[in-house]
Amino acid sequence: MTQEIIVRPVIQEDFIAWKVLWDGYNAFYGRAGETALPAEVTQMTWSRFFDVYEPVHALVAVDSGQLLGLAHFLFHRSTTQVNPSCYLQDLFTDRTARGRGVGRALINAVYEQAKAAGSPRVYWQTHETNTTAMRLYDKVAEKSGFVVYRKML
């Protein structure tokens, strides 16, 4: 019998299991094989979670000692409010754990972290083809109506 899903901050001992999830997340968005992120990006990302001066944080969802999902979020200043905004940058659930409430638990945990930090909002983006995740997102948040533009430099 499985235990309740626990969401907690990532710890150093999680690296190997976290990296499996991280690699799955990146593969989902087409960053695998020849287009994979450089190892130095992964190492820097991991190190930021443990640097108290970094605004980047990581949570993991755990059941029976197994990591099932991850959430990476960061706080940043805004020109439209005094307190920092919380950006949920990465959210991923292992394929075998989908449909068990892992994504919802991670999002709710980020909401709690944001509230504790005094942040008035949490926001994120997803690819328009990620319809499975958007069914959850439509239940736990509202679409802002904004369209994202970017230019790689």
DSSP 96: G
Sort residue 127 into left (φ over 0), alpha (ψ -120 to 50) or beta: beta
Element (H, E) at 122: strand 122-123
Between the two ends of the chain, the Cα-to-Cα distance in Å is 50
Q: Tell me, what amino acid is at 25?
A: Y
Residue 59 inside a domain? The answer is yes
Higher pLDDT, 92 or 37: 92
Q: How many domains does the chain have?
A: 1
Decide if 70 contacts 21 (C-beta within 8 A): yes
Residue 44 inside a domain? The answer is yes
pLDDT confidence tier of residue 32, bands split at 50, 70 and 90 = confident
Q: What pLDDT, in 10s, does the model give residues 44-101?
A: 999 999 999 999 999 999 999 999 999 999 999 999 999 999 999 999 999 999 999 9
What is the reported pTM? 0.93
Element (H, E) at 71: strand 66-76
Residue 121 structural domain: 6-140
Residue 149 inside a domain? The answer is no
Q: What pLDDT, in 10s, does the model give residues 97-138?
A: 999 999 999 999 999 999 999 999 999 999 999 999 999 999
**CA 16 to CA 109: how far, in whole Å?**
22
Residue 147 inside a domain? The answer is no
12-31 mean pLDDT: 95
- pLDDT for 1 equals 39
* CATH code assigned at 25: 3.40.630.30
Residue 2 has pLDDT above 60, yes or no: no
> Would you call 76 helix, strand, or coil by DSSP?
strand
Residue 1 inside a domain? The answer is no
